[in-house]
Structure 1
Amino acid sequence: MAYSALAVANAFIEQGLRGNIPRLTPMKLQKLLFFAQSWHLRKNGPNAPLFDDNFARWKYGPVIPSLYHELKTYGSSPITSMLRNVENDDEGGFVLVTPSIPASDANAHELIDAIITKYGRLTGSQLSFLTHEDGTAWQLGLEDGEANGSVITWEQMASHIHPPSRMRG
């Protein structure tokens, strides 16, 4: 089952708020999500995403546009609170919900921990640089070397992430 990008983002934000990810900015979060999704797709196949949102090719690397708009008020500052959704309640009203990955999903939490171990100390700019390397999923869809907002497919993400030898801590 795929989660929402907000649920997976909140798993990273929670770790950032605990001090386990230094200076978790919106840009850094986007790139950590990109690596988490890519690793998950490589391991489980391109039809088994960790979360159901797509990345677009933006100037500074892969971005989930809806998440960008959710977090843009932070600018380049660290994220200071969990993300919330408004959902219908049982009485026909509305309730604020903080999407999350259930604690029982050990595989998802292990993946997030591995991403934090591998990439968590890097800055958003350093992570952006990694997504721009030759042969990456982001780089493959550029037109005339320019980011164009096109969708990065799950197949591209599964096939064009850093080789497993580079993924180890």
Structure 2
Amino acid sequence: MTYTPQHIANYFLDRASQEERRLSLLQLLKLIYIGYGWSLALRDEKLFNERIEAWQHGPVIPSIYHEFKHYGSNPIATSSVTVDFKENNGKLSLSFQTPRVPETDEDTHYILDTVWKSYKDFTGWALRELTHQEGTPWRKVYRDGVRGIAMQDEDIREHYVERIGRYLEAARATEQERKAS
């Protein structure tokens, strides 16, 4: 199932709240991006259909950035919401929704939970630095001072296939060392 970036944002914001943590916008943007990458790598599926852009401080999902930019570097204190405008008999009404990934979507929960457990202790700046490393999808397309350059899904997928492979190799080596001792 494909979601919106707001679904994924709320997943991480809810997890942070459950653990009495707060996320900055920089952390949230990078966690959403990493979750997107893991989904492409493990399922060959996008988590959402909004493009990810290469900005100065790494990958950015524009709708999430604009929704939460007023927090600056302070912790985000609200959930992500969507607004539906409806016209009924010439009257305009607003409906606010707080989108969440359903508990029944175990695969998506597993991926996002793994991302959360792996990266929750990283600062926003540390996550930024991860996305800026040589050979990352961001590095391939970023141009100084230019916003709006779309990052390519295939580059993101390949990057996370390789990264997850390294994690699995390290886990196997640790398990073998544990068994040997």
TM beyond 0.5: yes
In structure 2, how many angstroms separate the alpha carbons of the residues matched to 1:147 and 1:55?
16
Please tell me the root mean square deviation across aligned C-alpha atoms, in Å.
2.0
Q: Partner residue of 2:51?
A: 54
Work out whether 1:16 is the aligned partner of 2:13: no
Instruction: Find the counterpart in structure 2 of residue 107 from structure 1.
Output: 107
Please state if 1:32 is matched with 2:31.
Answer: yes
SS in 1 for 2:96: strand
Say whether 1:83 aligns with 2:80. Answer: yes
Kept after mapping to 1: 8 A contact 2:13/2:22: no
Is the Cα contact below 8 Å between 1:57 and 1:147 reproduced in 2? no
- For residue 160 of structure 1, give the secondary structure of its aligned residue in structure 2: helix
Bigger share in helix? 2
Contact kept in structure 1, 2:6 and 2:99, CA below 8 Å: yes
Deviation, structure 1 residue 17: 1.4
Q: Deviations over 1:41-64 (max 9, x none)?
A: 01122xx20111111111110001
Of 63, 74, 84, the residue aligned with 2:71 is 74
Number of corresponding residues: 164
- TM-score, scaled to structure 1: 0.88
Return the alpha-carbon distance in structure 2 between the equivalents of residues 29 and 39 of structure 1: 15
Where relative contact order (Cα < 8 A, 6+ residues apart) is larger, the structure is 1
Q: Separation in 2 of the partners of 1:60 and 1:160?
A: 18
Partner of 1:163: helix, strand, or coil? helix
Deviates more, 1:56-65 or 1:83-92: 83-92
- Structure 2 unmatched runs, 5+: 172-181
Tell me the equivalent position of 1:63.
Answer: 60
CA contact (8 A) 1:118 1:167 kept: no
Identity %: 30
Segment of structure 1 superposing worse, 147-156 or 107-116: 147-156
Q: CA deviation at 1:90?
A: 9.4
Does the 8 A contact of 1:38 with 1:157 survive in 2? yes
Residue 159 of structure 1: how far off its partner (Å): 1.0
* TM-score normalised to structure 2 length: 0.83
